Amino acid sequence: MDVGGTSVRAGVVDARGAVLDTTRAPTPTGAQALEDAIVHAVEELAGRHDVAAVGLAVAGFVTADRRSVRFAPHLAWRGVPVADRVSARLGLPVVLEHDANAAALAEYRFGAARGAHVAVLVALGTGIGGALLVDGRVFRGAHGVAPELGHLRLVPDGRPCPCGKRGCWERYCSGTALAATAVELLAEYPAASTVLGREAAGDPRAVTGRRVAGAARDGDPLAQRAMTDLARWLGEGLALVADVYDPEVVVIGGGVSESAPLFLDDARQHYASVVTGAGHRPLARIRTAQLGDDAGIVGAAALARDVAMDVVRNGRPR
């Protein structure tokens, strides 16, 4: 399952990572209602399929034992032992994982990072989600928080971020950033000269990341400049990521990656020109995610399968 701030999506996934059946519901606001929604979704799918175990990809911090959610900005859980509660109600093994980690695992097993010794996922959505896999194992840091890539500060005294800092990478490189850059650029263009300008004159809230990407695809010059700006900041941030982790593969995922043809070549070039030792070191392969929206579900299911196999072999989850 993919438990996000907007919707709770569940899928039945086979051993090869194929999604056989799905169901979805809007994310309820209360903690109990959220748990109920998860249980109901599993019960619905278990009525049609032989379900062995449940994996939950959660948009939030998960404890190192993958049993509890510490904190999730867009979900009602605060220090809740979600895995044990859901497991008790369903009578099935349940495992939790941070959604970016789950997506990275899915890409490692079935997608763009298959077999990579060191792989980094950079998911460009409302913000930036990051994950680091070393030989297919999630690197979590000492307290389960690493790697928090979106809040690396790229611009001292830059755009304010909800995290309390300024100039974080995701303020310049995400769907939200795309909209913010387009709104800044509007000041330079007569309102009627671009599609976005005309739309923003009617309602400034019409300028969303998705809309900017669509306008860039249609050739709108302002939107294309916003996209070029995003590409530059993506390259800039990837150079930092490469300096710290020296990855073999970087997978660009999240909703913004659907527009990769509009920015990825520029980002690669900028990355290659600013990374330390440019021209004298092997470069990471920068690829778009292959599993799209299903990555969280497929990764969570792969973890659930590992747990189910453990139960079969050892009689208890590890």
The one segment of 64-72, 147-155, 238-246, 284-292 that binds Zn ion by CB under 5 A: 147-155
List 25, 90, 163, 240, residue binding Zn ion (CB under 5 A): 163
Q: Smaller CB distance to Zn ion: residue 168 or 262?
A: 168
The one segment of 77-85, 117-125, 154-162, 267-275 that binds Zn ion by CB under 5 A: 154-162
**Least Å from the CB of residue 214 to Zn ion:** 27
List 151, 211, 268, 287, residue binding Zn ion (CB under 5 A): 151
Number of residues interacting with Zn ion: please give it, by CB under 5 A.
Answer: 5
Q: Smaller CB distance to Zn ion: residue 110 or 169?
A: 169
Using CB under 5 A as the binding rule, whether residue 161 contacts Zn ion is answered as yes
The one segment of 33-41, 100-108, 158-166, 260-268 that binds Zn ion by CB under 5 A: 158-166
- Contact indicator for 74, 29 with CB cutoff of 8 Å: no
The one segment of 23-31, 145-153, 261-269, 291-299 that binds Zn ion by CB under 5 A: 145-153
**Least Å from the CB of residue 153 to Zn ion:** 8
Cα 110 from chain centroid (whole Å): 16
The one segment of 159-167, 197-205, 207-215, 275-283 that binds Zn ion by CB under 5 A: 159-167
**Least Å from the CB of residue 168 to Zn ion:** 3
Using CB under 5 A as the binding rule, whether residue 305 contacts Zn ion is answered as no
List 53, 138, 168, 238, residue binding Zn ion (CB under 5 A): 168
Q: Smaller CB distance to Zn ion: residue 160 or 204?
A: 160
Using CB under 5 A as the binding rule, whether residue 128 contacts Zn ion is answered as no
Three-state secondary structure readout of the chain: CEECCCEEEEEEECCCCCEEEEEEEECCCCHHHHHHHHHHHHHHHHCCCCCCCEEEEECCEECCCCCCEEECCCCCCEEECHHHHHHHHHCCCEEEEEHHHHHHHHHHHHCCCCCCCEEEEEEECCCEEEEEEECCEECCCCCCCCCCHHHCECCCCCCECCCCCECEHHHCCCHHHHHHHHHHHHCCCCHHHCHHHHHHHHCHHHCCHHHHHHHHHCCCHHHHHHHHHHHHHHHHHHHHHHHHHCCCEEEEECHHHHHHHHCHHHHHHHHHHHCCCCCCCCCCEEEECCCHHHHHHHHHHHHHHHHHHHHHHHCCCC
Partners of 97 in the beta sheet?
57
Residues 71-110 that bind Zn ion (CB under 5 A): none
**Least Å from the CB of residue 254 to Zn ion:** 16
Interacting residues toward Zn ion by CB under 5 A: 151, 161, 163, 165, 168
